Amino acid sequence: MRPSRVASAVLAALVLSLATLFTAPTAVAAGGQYVALGDSYSAGVGAGSYLSSSGSCYRSTKSYPYLWNASHSPSSFSFVACSGATTADVLGSQLSALSSSTTLVSLSVGGNDAGFADVMTTCVLNSESTCLSAVSSARSYITGTLPGKLDSVYAAIRAKAPNARVVVLGYPHMYKIGGSCIIGIGDTKRSAINAAADDLATVTAKRAADAGFTFVDVRGVFTNHEICSGSSWLNSTTLPIYESYHPNSSGQASGYLPSFSGAA
């Protein structure tokens, strides 16, 4: 007996639906060219397990870009984020990893331009007034000078990778206010440092949005996991010293990775 046209249509739709169900995940996992740009927070400094080939860039196999690549298997992965990188470094040495074939870019940058390392050193080793002065200078730079530098970086990324989805990640609050540490700095210094992170988030979010990029604010996911929280995803002063004040392996895997994955 010959099937009716309705029955044939239903059968065809069912076959198409099943085919989509079983083939879609493979197609998603296999595609795309991913490039990870930026500074130490994207390189994974502080998480350990550094790639020997990365030298003083300290790219970690526990960083969010490396973990994302391992679980999503894009067709290519260029990991060029580097410890200490500024906006000038991204423009000068990292952009060559991009092309018109790039489909996904991750980036964190701006903290080093604002003198993050010097501010932390000043606040840990010097008086409250000296710390507050250093933070104030950094905040002035963030609101006055950094926006133009970010605009230059974002424009260059778009020019080199016109077809890419670009995800810009921010920085967490460094300290838990009112939290307890055996050694460390007081809440006045902590609040000032966190306020600078707020400025960075505000400026970066605006510049990224104006460039048509996606900004991911990680301050929320790091809440209750700051230094002095009792469950920190960030290193305090530690050895080797370059790992100080950076996300540890938990900060990368539980903080940055899901934040990036949700926007990629």
Q: What are phi and psi of 56, to 5 degrees?
A: -80, 0
Question: Span 109-137, mean pLDDT?
Answer: 97
Does the pLDDT of residue 143 top 90, yes or no?
A: yes
Question: Span 79-91, mean pLDDT?
Answer: 98
Q: What is the pLDDT of residue 181?
A: 84
Domains of the chain: 1-30 (no CATH), 32-261 (3.40.50.1110)
Does the pLDDT of residue 98 top 60, yes or no?
A: yes
Catalytic residues: 40, 246
DSSP SS3 for 165: strand
Task: Give ∠ CA 115-170-165 in degrees, rounded to 5.
Answer: 125
Residue 184 pLDDT level (bands cut at 50, 70, 90): confident
What is the value of pTM for the model shown?
0.87
Total H helices, total E strands in the chain:
10, 5
Question: Span 122-134, mean pLDDT?
Answer: 97
Give residue 228's region: left, alpha or beta (phi > 0; psi -120 to 50). Answer: left
Does the pLDDT of residue 20 top 60, yes or no?
A: no
Q: What is the pLDDT of residue 31?
A: 65
Q: 149 and 231 in contact (C-beta within 8 Å)?
A: no
Does the pLDDT of residue 21 top 80, yes or no?
A: no
Q: What are phi and psi of 150, to 5 degrees?
A: -65, -40
Task: Give tens-digit pLDDT for 42-68.
Answer: 999 999 999 999 999 999 999 999 999
